[in-house]
Protein backbone atom coordinates (compact mmCIF):
# COMPACT_ATOMS: atom_id res chain seq x y z
CA UNK A 1 0.00 0.00 0.00
CA UNK A 2 2.87 2.38 0.84
CA UNK A 3 4.41 1.80 -2.61
CA UNK A 4 1.07 2.52 -4.28
CA UNK A 5 0.67 5.79 -2.34
CA UNK A 6 4.24 6.82 -3.18
CA UNK A 7 3.71 6.02 -6.89
CA UNK A 8 0.50 8.03 -6.97
CA UNK A 9 2.18 10.99 -5.30
CA UNK A 10 5.04 10.88 -7.81
CA UNK A 11 2.66 10.74 -10.79
CA UNK A 12 0.55 13.52 -9.31
CA UNK A 13 3.61 15.67 -8.64
CA UNK A 14 4.88 15.31 -12.21
CA UNK A 15 1.55 16.60 -13.48
CA UNK A 16 0.88 19.34 -10.96
CA UNK A 17 4.28 20.70 -9.89
CA UNK A 18 4.95 22.43 -13.18
CA UNK A 19 1.45 23.85 -13.42
CA UNK A 20 1.38 27.61 -13.90
CA UNK A 21 -0.44 29.56 -11.19
CA UNK A 22 -3.46 31.53 -12.30
CA UNK A 23 -3.36 34.12 -9.51
CA UNK A 24 -6.90 35.26 -10.28
CA UNK A 25 -8.09 31.69 -9.65
CA UNK A 26 -5.58 30.44 -7.09
CA UNK A 27 -6.17 26.73 -6.47
CA UNK A 28 -5.46 25.93 -2.82
CA UNK A 29 -6.01 22.20 -3.40
CA UNK A 30 -3.21 22.08 -5.94
CA UNK A 31 -1.01 24.32 -3.80
CA UNK A 32 -1.53 22.09 -0.75
CA UNK A 33 -0.65 18.94 -2.71
CA UNK A 34 2.44 20.46 -4.29
CA UNK A 35 3.56 21.82 -0.91
CA UNK A 36 3.40 18.31 0.56
CA UNK A 37 5.26 16.78 -2.41
CA UNK A 38 7.95 19.50 -2.34
CA UNK A 39 8.40 19.04 1.41
CA UNK A 40 9.06 15.34 0.83
CA UNK A 41 11.50 16.20 -1.99
CA UNK A 42 13.30 18.59 0.36
CA UNK A 43 13.45 15.94 3.09
CA UNK A 44 14.66 13.37 0.55
CA UNK A 45 17.47 15.74 -0.53
CA UNK A 46 18.68 15.60 3.09
CA UNK A 47 18.47 11.80 3.22
CA UNK A 48 15.35 11.89 5.43
CA UNK A 49 12.42 9.52 5.12
CA UNK A 50 9.29 10.85 3.42
CA UNK A 51 6.18 11.77 5.34
CA UNK A 52 2.95 9.87 4.71
CA UNK A 53 0.04 12.11 3.71
CA UNK A 54 -3.02 12.36 5.96
CA UNK A 55 -6.17 13.68 4.33
CA UNK A 56 -7.92 13.82 7.71
CA UNK A 57 -5.12 15.95 9.16
CA UNK A 58 -5.23 18.19 6.09
CA UNK A 59 -9.00 18.64 6.07
CA UNK A 60 -9.40 19.17 9.82
CA UNK A 61 -6.13 20.46 11.27
CA UNK A 62 -4.07 22.18 8.56
CA UNK A 63 -7.05 23.89 6.94
CA UNK A 64 -8.40 24.92 10.34
CA UNK A 65 -5.10 26.53 11.42
CA UNK A 66 -4.52 28.28 8.10
CA UNK A 67 -8.09 29.57 8.03
CA UNK A 68 -7.63 31.00 11.54
CA UNK A 69 -4.51 32.83 10.31
CA UNK A 70 -6.39 34.23 7.33
CA UNK A 71 -9.36 35.20 9.51
CA UNK A 72 -7.18 37.15 11.96
CA UNK A 73 -4.83 38.39 9.21
CA UNK A 74 -1.70 37.36 11.12
CA UNK A 75 0.58 34.36 11.39
CA UNK A 76 0.23 32.57 14.72
CA UNK A 77 -0.37 29.14 16.27
CA UNK A 78 -4.06 29.12 17.27
CA UNK A 79 -5.29 26.86 20.03
CA UNK A 80 -6.26 23.64 18.29
CA UNK A 81 -6.45 21.36 21.33
CA UNK A 82 -10.13 20.46 20.86
CA UNK A 83 -9.76 19.96 17.11
CA UNK A 84 -6.72 17.70 17.58
CA UNK A 85 -8.50 15.70 20.30
CA UNK A 86 -11.50 15.27 18.00
CA UNK A 87 -9.49 13.95 15.02
CA UNK A 88 -6.44 12.31 16.63
CA UNK A 89 -7.90 8.79 16.63
CA UNK A 90 -9.27 9.13 13.09
CA UNK A 91 -5.86 10.22 11.74
CA UNK A 92 -4.21 7.32 13.54
CA UNK A 93 -6.73 4.84 12.05
CA UNK A 94 -6.35 6.40 8.58
CA UNK A 95 -2.58 5.82 8.61
CA UNK A 96 -2.78 2.36 10.21
CA UNK A 97 -5.23 1.31 7.48
CA UNK A 98 -3.37 3.03 4.62
CA UNK A 99 -0.06 1.39 5.56
CA UNK A 100 -1.67 -1.90 6.65
CA UNK A 101 -0.02 -1.77 10.09
CA UNK A 102 -0.89 -4.66 12.39
CA UNK A 103 -1.87 -3.22 15.78
CA UNK A 104 -3.57 -6.31 17.20
CA UNK A 105 -0.93 -6.88 19.91
CA UNK A 106 -0.10 -3.33 21.01
CA UNK A 107 -1.92 -0.09 20.35
CA UNK A 108 0.20 2.44 18.47
CA UNK A 109 1.49 5.62 20.06
CA UNK A 110 0.47 8.70 18.08
CA UNK A 111 2.43 11.90 18.81
CA UNK A 112 2.00 15.42 17.46
CA UNK A 113 1.27 17.55 15.67
CA UNK A 114 4.30 19.72 15.24
CA UNK A 115 3.33 22.85 13.37
CA UNK A 116 5.20 25.29 11.18
CA UNK A 117 3.63 28.28 9.51
CA UNK A 118 4.55 31.27 7.42
CA UNK A 119 3.15 34.24 5.61
CA UNK A 120 4.42 35.40 2.22
CA UNK A 121 3.47 38.05 -0.30
CA UNK A 122 2.65 36.89 -3.80
CA UNK A 123 3.85 39.97 -5.64
CA UNK A 124 5.74 43.20 -5.48
CA UNK A 125 3.85 46.02 -7.15
CA UNK A 126 2.10 44.36 -10.07
CA UNK A 127 4.66 41.60 -10.62
CA UNK A 128 4.06 38.14 -9.16
CA UNK A 129 7.08 36.45 -7.58
CA UNK A 130 6.22 32.88 -8.63
CA UNK A 131 4.77 31.43 -11.80
CA UNK A 132 4.37 27.77 -10.78
CA UNK A 133 3.11 26.03 -7.64
CA UNK A 134 6.44 24.24 -7.41
CA UNK A 135 8.41 27.53 -7.35
CA UNK A 136 6.04 28.91 -4.74
CA UNK A 137 6.26 25.94 -2.39
CA UNK A 138 10.04 25.65 -2.76
CA UNK A 139 10.26 29.28 -1.65
CA UNK A 140 7.96 28.59 1.32
CA UNK A 141 10.19 25.72 2.44
CA UNK A 142 13.25 27.96 2.11
CA UNK A 143 11.44 30.61 4.16
CA UNK A 144 10.66 28.07 6.89
CA UNK A 145 14.29 26.95 6.93
CA UNK A 146 15.38 30.49 7.78
CA UNK A 147 13.82 29.95 11.22
CA UNK A 148 15.88 27.57 13.40
CA UNK A 149 12.85 26.15 15.28
CA UNK A 150 10.94 25.58 12.01
CA UNK A 151 14.00 24.11 10.32
CA UNK A 152 14.40 21.68 13.22
CA UNK A 153 10.77 20.54 12.91
CA UNK A 154 10.82 19.94 9.14
CA UNK A 155 14.24 18.23 9.15
CA UNK A 156 13.61 15.83 12.04
CA UNK A 157 13.72 12.14 11.16
CA UNK A 158 10.22 11.11 12.18
CA UNK A 159 10.36 7.53 10.99
CA UNK A 160 14.02 6.63 11.52
CA UNK A 161 13.54 4.16 14.34
CA UNK A 162 12.09 0.77 13.54
CA UNK A 163 8.31 0.76 13.38
CA UNK A 164 7.67 4.48 13.25
CA UNK A 165 6.24 6.59 10.46
CA UNK A 166 6.12 10.34 9.90
CA UNK A 167 2.78 11.79 8.82
CA UNK A 168 2.15 15.18 7.27
CA UNK A 169 -0.37 17.60 5.85
CA UNK A 170 -0.17 21.11 4.42
CA UNK A 171 -2.39 24.08 3.70
CA UNK A 172 -1.93 27.28 1.71
CA UNK A 173 -4.60 29.99 1.53
CA UNK A 174 -4.53 33.20 -0.50
CA UNK A 175 -5.80 36.12 1.59
CA UNK A 176 -6.54 39.80 1.15
CA UNK A 177 -3.60 41.98 0.17
CA UNK A 178 -1.99 39.25 -1.95
CA UNK A 179 -0.78 37.39 1.14
CA UNK A 180 -0.39 33.65 1.42
CA UNK A 181 -0.83 31.98 4.77
CA UNK A 182 0.65 28.51 5.06
CA UNK A 183 0.86 25.74 7.62
CA UNK A 184 2.46 22.34 7.63
CA UNK A 185 1.68 19.70 10.27
CA UNK A 186 3.77 16.65 11.15
CA UNK A 187 2.89 13.70 13.38
CA UNK A 188 4.68 10.49 14.36
CA UNK A 189 3.05 7.08 14.68
CA UNK A 190 5.00 4.48 16.68
CA UNK A 191 3.84 0.87 16.47
CA UNK A 192 5.00 -2.68 17.29
Strands 52-53 and 164-175: parallel
On whether the CB atoms of residues 38 and 136 are closer than 8 A, the answer is no
pTM for the whole structure: 0.87
Res 127: pLDDT? 81
Cα–Cα distance for residue pair 68/45, rounded to 1 Å? 32
Minimum mean pLDDT among 16-25, 44-53, 111-120, 145-154: which range?
16-25
Coil vs helix vs strand at 55: helix
Per-residue pLDDT tens for 63-80? 999 999 999 999 999 999
Res 2: pLDDT? 54
pLDDT at position 166 over 70: yes
DSSP structural state of residue 51: P
Short-list 173, 181, 113, 176, CA closest to 143: 181
Minimum mean pLDDT among 8-12, 34-38, 110-114, 167-171: which range?
8-12
Per-residue pLDDT tens for 123-152? 777 788 889 999 999 999 999 999 999 999
Q: What are the chain's domains?
A: 2-190 (3.40.33.10)
Amino acid sequence: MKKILTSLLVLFSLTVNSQVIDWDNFDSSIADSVYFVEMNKFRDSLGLLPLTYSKISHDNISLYVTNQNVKEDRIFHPDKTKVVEKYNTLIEKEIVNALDINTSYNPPLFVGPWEVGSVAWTKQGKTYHYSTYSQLTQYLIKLLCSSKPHHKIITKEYGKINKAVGIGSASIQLAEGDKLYTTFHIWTLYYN
